[in-house]
Amino acid sequence: MNRSCFLSLAALLLAATVAPAQNFGLGEAAAPKQERVTAELIAAVSAAAPGQPFQAAVKLVHAKDCHTYGKVLPPGVIGKPTKLTWTLPEGWQIEELPWPATHQVPSTDGAISDGYDGTVYLPVKITPPASAAIGSSVELKVKVNALVCDPKSCLPFPKEVTLSLGVAATPAVNEANASAFSSAPATEKKSAETAAVTPAANESKSAATITPTSRPAQVTAPKSQLSFAQLLLYAFVGGLILNIMPCVFPVLGIKVTSVVQQAGEDRRKVVLHGLMYTVGVLLSFWVLGGVAIALNKGWGSQLQSPAFNFFLAAFFLIFALNMAGLFEIGTSAIGVGSGLQAKSGLGGSFFSGLLATVVATPCSAPFLGTALGATLALPASQSMLIFTLIGLGLASPFLLLSLFPGLISALPRPGAWMESFKQGMSFLLFGTVGFMLYVLTNQIEGLPVLFAILSLVLIALGCWIYGRWALPHKTARTQNIARLLTFFAVAGGLWLGLPNASAKRSHAEEDVNLNDPDALHWETWSPGKVAALRAAKQPVYIDFTASWCWTCQVNKRVYSDTGLRALFKQHHVATLKADWSDENETIRLALEALGKRAVPVNVLYIPGAEEPFILDELLTVGNVTAALKKLEK
């Protein structure tokens, strides 16, 4: 156990020892604990009428100096959105109304956050079914899931509140709640039955989550610009395009080699290989989709981890050396991917499907960003269907190749040329290793970068030892020594190069190309900087990017265009870069506010326009120029 681990364990044990004494007030009387926030469900009526809507609201009362958050977090605010989960009787419908505007509140670090304090009402409109039985009584339930903070700490606030209502021929006004429902927006009638809680300003609407007692209560959801069928088409096409992206193409080289080897075999087996490859891809996308939904993570977020990127670089280096002919992977533990190039190993096809998905995550192909962004507002089942279509798009070329034997018959016959082809494909993997090192140099700096490079050399040395002496015609003693030395070389290399959190690069405040005085001047993005520039009526162009995003790197080429640079300067456009190479909660929330889960995302804020103009994922001089031309209108 190293020194830092020992100190962490000691601190944990000390906290566990001291906390009970503080919590139970040993030696002194414990003071009554005041609730940070209380929740109550109220309605504008004491009795509802069949088919006639009425207003209800969740009433939150905060203790002094405590606050919760709105349904959507503004860019730059770190917290947790407040969520309401409703449980209504069968046939009852609910529609969310605009919540009151949030305002500045003190945060735990002494800075200013944005949320609710004091007393606030979160309104909804509820409509009983026309068939509701007069004289009956119903129970409405809502679970409040919020984060309540004071200047020192934050705690989760899960609370379920209920309200019992009678059903009458005509609605009965609840006079006790008249003050809460005393005024209404211009779009609502000012009556006790339909009056709404007055919001100071509209927030972005999302459909409340409904848990029915028997069947789903109908919820009015925001309309999407694209139908769900269109989103599914975008997902499939985006997955299909992933096959030709540079981050996926090396895996295609591996799989093409395998398919060529199988061309002269039993076609039934070839079909099984294609199906296993597809299953591997789909399983990976289901896992990624489940994790993304559960943890609210973005596409490619695992590449924000320097350790993950280092292991990926080492993984591809080993396979590149294998394809180059330095060694042949045997049956030992190090040969985890030996089936990749086996003639009849179905496990190899399954594994290559998994691998294709892993290396696809740095890419956000055209159409893919739109489909992934839509998952923010979709139910989990529909989000998973989108991930399924992306996986089918990625797997479809090889699936078609296996299902239609005629296509396989058109491939060249196996022969001696295959060894040259396999070795040539290794350079694609070497290129991927180089790309992963580039990603690492944007995440770590100093000696950790040197250690990462030297560790790959040590891993390569281990592979050379294995390929030179762990051969079947060598003596058992020689083979065992070679395997042992290989293990120590590879394990030592992984230990030497593994980056830690302290090695993360501190990104510069500004990104300036000193060798090109005409280059665009990129400043580091922050929500405060955007707000200040927009308040000054200055156009703002934001590039949400990451070093591990291949499409982002391709997009950078447009900024070298002389005419485009002139347009940026002509309109005095401030250019900001939001670098998501490392995990950054503020950037993630800003992307979600734009309806996006993945980079690249490029937006232009036009003075006088509230919403930004979002450009296509793949930038061209033409579409960026068209966006800047909007500043002339």
pLDDT per residue as tens digits for the range 13-40? 434 433 443 333 333 444 445 688 999 9
Confidence label for 332 from pLDDT (cuts 50, 70 and 90)? very low
Judgement on whether residues 162 and 236 belong to the same structural domain of the protein? no
Helix (H) or strand (E) holding 272: helix 267-295
Q: Residue 293: inside a domain, yes or no?
A: yes
Percentage of residues in the chain having pLDDT higher than 70:
68
Confidence label for 143 from pLDDT (cuts 50, 70 and 90)? very high
Locate 449 and state its tokens.
Answer: 């970068």
Res 121: pLDDT: 92
Q: Residue 353: inside a domain, yes or no?
A: yes
Burial 33-67 (b: 16+ CB within 10 A, else e): eeebbebebbbbbbbbbbeebbbbbbbbebeeebb
Judgement on whether residues 204 and 71 belong to the same structural domain of the protein? yes
Judgement on whether residues 188 and 277 belong to the same structural domain of the protein? no
Q: Residue 577: inside a domain, yes or no?
A: yes
Which segment of 83-97, 221-235, 517-531 scores lowest on mean pLDDT?
221-235
Res 567: pLDDT: 93
Q: Residue 51: inside a domain, yes or no?
A: yes
Judgement on whether residues 277 and 373 belong to the same structural domain of the protein? yes
Judgement on whether residues 203 and 249 belong to the same structural domain of the protein? no
Q: What is the CATH classification number for the domain harbouring 581? A: 3.40.30.10
Mean per-residue pLDDT for 269-297? Answer: 77
Judgement on whether residues 172 and 238 belong to the same structural domain of the protein? no
pLDDT digits (tens, 9 = 90+) for 228-259: 788 788 888 878 877 766 566 666 666 666 66
Res 186: pLDDT: 31
Average pLDDT, the chain: 74
Res 141: pLDDT: 92
Q: What is the CATH classification number for the domain harbouring 174? A: 2.60.40.10
Contact 321, 463 (CB under 8 A): yes
Q: Residue 423: inside a domain, yes or no?
A: no
**Residue that is last in its domain, among 416, 448, 465:** 416
Where is pLDDT greater, at 306 or 162?
Answer: 162
Percentage of residues in the chain having pLDDT higher than 90:
17
Locate 88 and state its tokens.
Answer: 């209504």
Res 266: pLDDT: 67
Q: Residue 17: inside a domain, yes or no?
A: no
**Residue that is last in its domain, among 181, 210, 239:** 210
Q: Residue 426: inside a domain, yes or no?
A: no
Confidence label for 180 from pLDDT (cuts 50, 70 and 90)? confident
Tell me the H-state helices in 334-446.
346-360, 368-374, 380-403, 405-409, 417-441
Judgement on whether residues 236 and 266 belong to the same structural domain of the protein? yes
The domain of 364 spans 228-305+333-416
Q: Within a 10 A sphere around the Cβ of 562, how many other Cβ atoms? A: 7
Would the pLDDT of 64 be above 80? yes
Judgement on whether residues 517 and 555 belong to the same structural domain of the protein? yes
Burial 255-294 (b: 16+ CB within 10 A, else e): bbbbbbbbbeeebeebbbbbbbbbbbbbebbeebbeebbe
User: CB within 8 A of 559, min separation 6: which ones?
Assistant: 519, 520, 565
Judgement on whether residues 255 and 128 belong to the same structural domain of the protein? no
Q: What is the DSSP string of 436-502?
A: HHHHHHTTB-SHHHHHHHHHHHHHHHHHHHHHHH--TTS-HHHHHHHHHHHHHHHHHHHHHH---GG
Map tokens 């992977």 to a residue: 329
Confidence label for 544 from pLDDT (cuts 50, 70 and 90)? very high
Where is pLDDT greater, at 355 or 331?
Answer: 355
Would the pLDDT of 577 be above 90? yes
Mean per-residue pLDDT for 430-455? Answer: 81
Would the pLDDT of 159 be above 60? yes
Question: How many Å apart are CA 286 and CA 301, to the nearest integer?
Answer: 16
Mean per-residue pLDDT for 567-575? Answer: 93
Q: Residue 444: inside a domain, yes or no?
A: no
Judgement on whether residues 152 and 270 belong to the same structural domain of the protein? no
Res 2: pLDDT: 47
User: What is the tally of structural domains in the chain?
Assistant: 3
Mean per-residue pLDDT for 149-154? Answer: 75
Res 5: pLDDT: 46
Using omega within 30 degrees of 0 as the cis cutoff, is the peptide bond preceding 100 cis?
no
**Residue that is last in its domain, among 370, 386, 416:** 416
pLDDT digits (tens, 9 = 90+) for 356-407: 776 666 555 555 655 665 565 567 777 788 888 888 888 888 788 777 766 7
Judgement on whether residues 104 and 237 belong to the same structural domain of the protein? no
Judgement on whether residues 204 and 263 belong to the same structural domain of the protein? no
Res 450: pLDDT: 80
Res 265: pLDDT: 62
Res 14: pLDDT: 38
pLDDT digits (tens, 9 = 90+) for 185-218: 333 333 333 333 333 333 333 374 433 333 333 3
67 DSSP β-pair partners: 149
Q: What is the DSSP string of 505-548?
A: ----SEE--TT-TTS--EEE--HHHHHHHHHTT--EEEEEE-TT
